[in-house]
Structure 1
């Protein structure tokens, strides 16, 4: 195995406070050390160049079936309780290869076509306006709690057909799901608690599904149930696992996109003012905000066979981490990549991934961002960050988002 010289450097350093605030400095260091970097701490390869990441995500020799199903870490008395959520998560589209991935994605994709999503525009605008109507009279807004969290939660809940008033309990379950995906340095107790949360998530959807078998509705869950009964062989674990994926991914990442995007604009006032003056730049601006500080930073694959990437020999079974955030800041692909430029025309960012696992909800996320950011810039009078010290990103490797973003609304 060919390794790099800097064994102290690791993608795991992203949990250090310096890189929690700005992971792109770490990505540049990793790319400079080696764009195909053997990470001793992670025990896998780390890709940071745009071309390498695109090539890997399109290469069928790399498998998405990377979810660890080893139960050795579980307390003996918890194996039975936690085994079910673990199996359900392995049946999510996120962790499947063709043909299972193709079958599941085909069932769900009909609910996320551009035509369907565009039909939601008026309703999303109404939700945005209602949320801002409540916040504006106060003269300040905690943007995450009062706006960027509830908006996508309401939208995806309605699409799935679950009660929007349950969105408060979604927050904990989505965090539990995100904790499992991100990994990090978790204690056994924290990992057990996260899986217990996912188990509660599954029980919630079991109740919804049971109701639908007698009281049908026209929504995504009903479509998946019908497909199961119609012979597409959607197992209960597939049904439950992908309901969790759609709800969690459908609002968690969009919350981060909106929060990160608004913060980036406020920290770049000339760009904020340009967008305020030229609303026709909104679509370009959303694309640039996705590139500049996207909600998903890392994805992973497992090599199915021995292969060579650049001059590195990657062995079958080894993990390969594609750093989407690094690829979207690769100076070989993007001019002056660390500068926010809402007029950037050539912008094939990788915030939504690439290849067959390209984000199914990308059209919905873009639409929500265009409507939400447009309304914020139009309706918020002179917003200012109340206290920069309170603006903190949560420590994570895969996801990137803010805990809070308190704003004062000037006159």
Structure 2
């Protein structure tokens, strides 16, 4: 297995202050040094080229089965307590290969249909307008706290039948789940705290599912409970794990897309004006905002058998990190990739992944974002950044904790 001798660069440098606000120069440096880069700090191969990332995501020689918390890392009694929760997470579509992935995704897709999503259009517009009525009544507001958190949380919670009064709880649990997925450099206390949150999340859905046995309702959770194919249905762990995935992913990534997207628009006034004057480009604009600064920056795979990528032989058992953010800024595939171009014509970005694990919730994220940004372009008057946002940028997820904006009331 060939490895780079240069150890001055690591993808883990995305945590450094110099790359927190804009990690793409780091990705370019990695790609220029070696697009198939052995990262000694991650002990993994890092792919930053578009074609390599797409090819690997589609390859049957790599496995998505990568969720594993080493038993030895946790106190024995705590591990036994968490084992059912860990089993549920491991049965999420995100971490499965065919045939299990094919079966479970097919069952979930029967419940989470494009028709169900499109039916939400008018209601999403109402939620957006209601939130903005409150937000835009003030001269200064925190866009993340007052809009990007509640909007997707309300939408996915209503779809799943989660009571509105429980929204703050599941936002916190979604954060615990994201912390667990991000995983880099978690100490024992942080890891245990995140696992406790995920266990509470699972227990919450377990109670909801038990209630639905007695009092069925017409919503996404009920559809998941009843989803079947040829007599097959989701077992308890598959149902619990994928309820968490749908709710956490349906909330977290859209929250980050909205925040990252508005910041990109405010820092590119020519593109903001283009959008404002041409509302019909909403769909294309959202695709470019996803490409330019997407909420999911990377994913990973485990190599099942020896493969060759761009002349490098990578042995079975190796980990490959697929840098989606870097691939979507690859100059070999996108003209002027670090420029925001809302009417970009060819835009096969990788913000939602590629292949059999392409994000099932992509149509919902796009619909919410198109409605949100179109409405903002119509109602937001002369917006101005009060200060630079509080970025948090990791190996996997990228977003901001706050975005303070002033506008003309």
TM over 0.5: yes
* TM-fit CA distance, 1:159: 1.0
What's the counterpart of residue 26 of structure 1?
A: 26
Q: Cα deviation per residue 1:278-311 (whole Å; 9 max; x = unaligned)?
A: 1111111101000000010000111110111111
Measure the CA separation in 1 of the matches of 2:175 and 2:216: 30
Q: Cα deviation per residue 1:149-188 (whole Å; 9 max; x = unaligned)?
A: 1000111111111112211111211111001111111111
Measure the CA separation in 2 of the matches of 1:100 and 1:220: 21
Measure the CA separation in 2 of the matches of 1:112 and 1:238: 15
Q: Is residue 110–residue 227 contact of structure 2 (8 Å, CA) maintained in 1?
A: no
Distance 1:287 1:395, change over 3 A: closer
Measure the CA separation in 2 of the matches of 1:409 and 1:281: 23
Q: Cα deviation per residue 1:241-289 (whole Å; 9 max; x = unaligned)?
A: 1110000000100000000000000000010011111111111110100
What's the counterpart of residue 393 of structure 2?
A: 395
* TM-fit CA distance, 1:230: 8.5
What's the counterpart of residue 139 of structure 1?
A: 139
DSSP 3-state at the match of 2:349: coil
Q: Is residue 291–residue 328 contact of structure 1 (8 Å, CA) maintained in 2?
A: yes
Matched, 1:281 2:287: no
Q: Is residue 228–residue 235 contact of structure 1 (8 Å, CA) maintained in 2?
A: no
Matched, 1:290 2:278: no
Q: Is residue 159–residue 219 contact of structure 1 (8 Å, CA) maintained in 2?
A: yes
Structure 1: gaps spanning 5 or more residues: none
Q: Is residue 353–residue 359 contact of structure 1 (8 Å, CA) maintained in 2?
A: yes
Per mean C-alpha deviation after superposition, the further-off stretch among 78-87 and 290-299 is 78-87
Measure the CA separation in 2 of the matches of 1:229 and 1:319: 34
Structural RMSD (CA)? 1.3
Measure the CA separation in 2 of the matches of 1:204 and 1:129: 30
Measure the CA separation in 2 of the matches of 1:267 and 1:184: 30
Measure the CA separation in 2 of the matches of 1:113 and 1:219: 12
What's the counterpart of residue 107 of structure 2?
A: 107
Matched, 1:157 2:162: no
- TM-score normalized by the length of structure 2: 0.98
Q: Is residue 112–residue 220 contact of structure 2 (8 Å, CA) maintained in 1?
A: no
Q: Is residue 226–residue 233 contact of structure 2 (8 Å, CA) maintained in 1?
A: no
Per mean C-alpha deviation after superposition, the further-off stretch among 77-86 and 211-220 is 77-86
Distance 1:60 1:229, change over 3 A: closer
* TM-fit CA distance, 1:393: 1.1
Q: Is residue 108–residue 227 contact of structure 2 (8 Å, CA) maintained in 1?
A: no
Matched, 1:209 2:209: yes
* TM-fit CA distance, 1:234: 2.2
Q: Is residue 297–residue 399 contact of structure 1 (8 Å, CA) maintained in 2?
A: yes
Structure 2: gaps spanning 5 or more residues: none
What's the counterpart of residue 270 of structure 1?
A: 270
- TM-score normalized by the length of structure 1: 0.97
Q: Is residue 275–residue 281 contact of structure 2 (8 Å, CA) maintained in 1?
A: yes
Q: Cα deviation per residue 1:304-327 (whole Å; 9 max; x = unaligned)?
A: 101111111111111101000000
What's the counterpart of residue 404 of structure 1?
A: 402
Per mean C-alpha deviation after superposition, the further-off stretch among 356-365 and 103-112 is 103-112
Q: Is residue 4–residue 33 contact of structure 1 (8 Å, CA) maintained in 2?
A: no
Q: Cα deviation per residue 1:72-128 (whole Å; 9 max; x = unaligned)?
A: 100123122121211111010000001111111111113433332222110000000
* TM-fit CA distance, 1:235: 2.1
What's the counterpart of residue 50 of structure 2?
A: 50
Measure the CA separation in 2 of the matches of 1:60 and 1:349: 21
